[in-house]
């Protein structure tokens, strides 16, 4: 893949613009079908494995929210692109030892799945806020929608959400945003996201500010919107196939 710059690859710019427009049309139609006029979800373009030059192009096309799932790659890109005013969303599984790194650049973390991680994040954000005065880190509880909790896509069982939510809500420098999930492989995304909507409603009953639902990818964004998704994580339908990384 020719990485280049924003200016020197008009073909790639045109391709990205067309892909963004196509996804936006799908989102608009799904919002209309769901009767959610005026509730446009936040589009997070998942840029993992794609070069920083593509993120520059996305920014030039109006994208402000990007997602990454590996800290080493994300931190490098965030440093290189610091002047673009992007919101960085960490969407992958996170080791507690990486908390100190992630809080340096992430606007939101979509994969909080254990109490130990909250402990690490709280310590890390306190140090970072003292150093830079940064804002609170938005945190989504990742929920497993598999029958066997954590079997395929990660996350906590629905029964564990209240305890994790209480810990997050009490943590200084962390903001309980809501829930995140990935539809299990080989099952109906509608059924999965209906289950997530019920988990979200129970959470909001106890934590009225935690209304966000991070759900929906390229293949199932319509189902996610139908059941209340406020944040969509779209990768391949905008950026195309992953470039070779080996």
What are 126-183's pLDDT values in tens digits? 999 999 999 999 999 999 998 754 444 689 999 999 999 999 999 999 999 999 999 9
Residue 1 confidence class, pLDDT cut points 50, 70, 90: very low
Residue 37: is its pLDDT beyond 90?
A: no
How far apart are alpha carbons 215 and 74 in whole angstroms?
A: 21
One-character DSSP codes across 4-56:
--TTT-HHHHHHHHHHHHHHHHHHHHHHHHTT-TT-PPEEEEE-TTS-HHHHH
How far apart are alpha carbons 184 and 96 in whole angstroms?
A: 25
CA angle 55, 233, 72 (to 5 degrees): 55
Q: What is the mean pLDDT of residues 60-75?
A: 98
The pTM of the full predicted model, rounded to 2 decimals, is 0.93
Tokens found for residue 60: 């030039």
Give Cα separations from 66 to 18, 54, 55, 63, 164 (angstroms).
18, 11, 8, 8, 26
Domains of the chain: 10-239 (3.20.20.10)
Tokens found for residue 64: 């402000």
246 versus 46: which is more confidently predicted? 46
What are 223-236's pLDDT values in tens digits? 999 999 999 999 99
């Amino acid at each position: 893949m020719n990485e280049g710059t924003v200016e020197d690859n008009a073909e790639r710019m045109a391709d990205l613009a067309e892909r963004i427009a196509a996804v936006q049309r799908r989102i608009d139609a799904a919002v209309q079908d769901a009767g959610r006029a005026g509730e446009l979800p936040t589009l997070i373009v998942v840029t993992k494995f794609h070069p920083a030059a593509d993120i520059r192009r996305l920014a030039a096309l109006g994208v402000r929210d990007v997602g990454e799932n590996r800290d080493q790659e994300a931190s490098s890109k965030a440093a290189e692109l610091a002047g673009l005013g992007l919101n960085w969303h960490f969407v992958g599984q996170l080791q507690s030892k990486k908390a100190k790194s992630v809080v340096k650049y992430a606007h939101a973390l979509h994969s909080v799945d254990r109490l130990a991680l909250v402990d690490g994040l709280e310590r890390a954000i306190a140090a970072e806020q003292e150093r830079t005065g940064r804002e609170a880190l938005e945190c989504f509880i990742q929920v497993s929608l598999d029958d066997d909790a954590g079997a395929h896509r990660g996350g906590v069982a629905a029964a564990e959400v209240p305890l994790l939510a209480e810990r997050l809500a009490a943590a200084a420098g962390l903001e309980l945003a809501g829930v995140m999930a990935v539809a299990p492989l080989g099952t109906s995304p509608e059924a999965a996201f209906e289950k997530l909507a019920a988990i979200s409603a129970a959470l909001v009953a106890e934590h009225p500010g935690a209304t966000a639902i991070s759900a929906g990818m390229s293949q199932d964004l319509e189902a996610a919107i139908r059941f209340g998704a406020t944040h969509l994580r779209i990768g391949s339908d905008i950026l195309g196939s992953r470039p070779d990384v080996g």
